[in-house]
């Protein structure tokens, strides 16, 4: 499998749908979690596959926060196959097939826009790579994906998790961490 570089800019969130309730359960720092996801491009991802993974759990109303997390990732992580970011977009309200297709189109459009911004950062850092390949976004329409993070159905709390290479949860925040906080953990 081709290792992907940093996906720290995969905010790919939307501002379409309404949030619901609060995040209840929480993972424990220091514990190891092998969580698996498939992103919108069909990539199979895991928190325990040898990458340092920043995982953002956001609802569609949190797109700006998710983007901020990506912008705060240290430059040394860019294009580095040892690091990645996965953004899980959690849809709170149930969507029928037509609304899911519309939502997916919007998500893909937002990912394309995020890739353009990320490409600019890659170009500045002389990273000769298509930034779009480093954006990993997972959609969660039914709560199945976010339930792996012990988030109850309808939860809307924004969370940022950092997992070590083996899936150990290093830290979690319920807001956007500072650039220094993020850099201190991912190093």
CB 16 within 8 A of CB 95: no
With cut-offs at 50, 70 and 90, classify the pLDDT of residue 150: confident
Encoded tokens for 130: 């298509």
Q: Is the pLDDT of residue 124 over 80?
A: yes
Alpha-helical segments (H) within the chain: 63-71, 97-124, 144-147, 179-186
Domain ranges in the chain are 36-186
Query: What kind of fold does domain 36-186 have according to CATH?
Result: Glutaredoxin (3.40.30)
Average pLDDT score over the chain = 85
**Measured distance CA(186)–CA(74) in Å, rounded:** 9
Which of 14-18, 72-76, 150-154 has the weakest average pLDDT?
14-18
Write the CA distances from 56 to 127, 128, 176, integer angstroms.
24, 26, 10
With cut-offs at 50, 70 and 90, classify the pLDDT of residue 10: very low
- pLDDT, position 155: 64
Q: What is the mean pLDDT of residues 45-72?
A: 95
Q: CA angle at residue 47 from 46 to 48, to 5 degrees?
A: 90
């Amino acid at each position: 499998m081709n290792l992907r570089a940093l996906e720290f800019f995969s905010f790919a969130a939307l501002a379409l749908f309404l949030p619901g309730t609060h995040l209840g359960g929480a993972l424990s720092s220091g514990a190891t979690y092998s969580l698996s996801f498939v992103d919108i491009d069909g990539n199979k991802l895991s928190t325990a596959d040898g990458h340092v993974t920043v995982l953002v759990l956001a609802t569609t109303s949190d797109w700006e926060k998710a983007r901020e997390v990506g912008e705060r990732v240290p430059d040394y992580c860019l294009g580095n196959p040892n690091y990645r970011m996965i953004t899980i977009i959690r849809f709170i309200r149930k969507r029928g097939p037509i609304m899911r297709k519309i939502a997916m189109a919007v998500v893909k459009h937002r990912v394309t826009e995020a890739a353009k911004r990320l490409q600019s950062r890659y170009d500045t850092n002389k990273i000769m790579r298509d930034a779009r390949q480093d954006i990993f976004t997972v959609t969660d329409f039914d709560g199945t994906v976010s339930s792996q993070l012990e988030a109850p159905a309808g939860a809307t709390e924004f969370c940022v998790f950092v997992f070590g290479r083996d899936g150990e949860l290093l830290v979690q925040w319920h807001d956007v961490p500072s650039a220094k906080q993020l850099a201190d953990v991912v190093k």
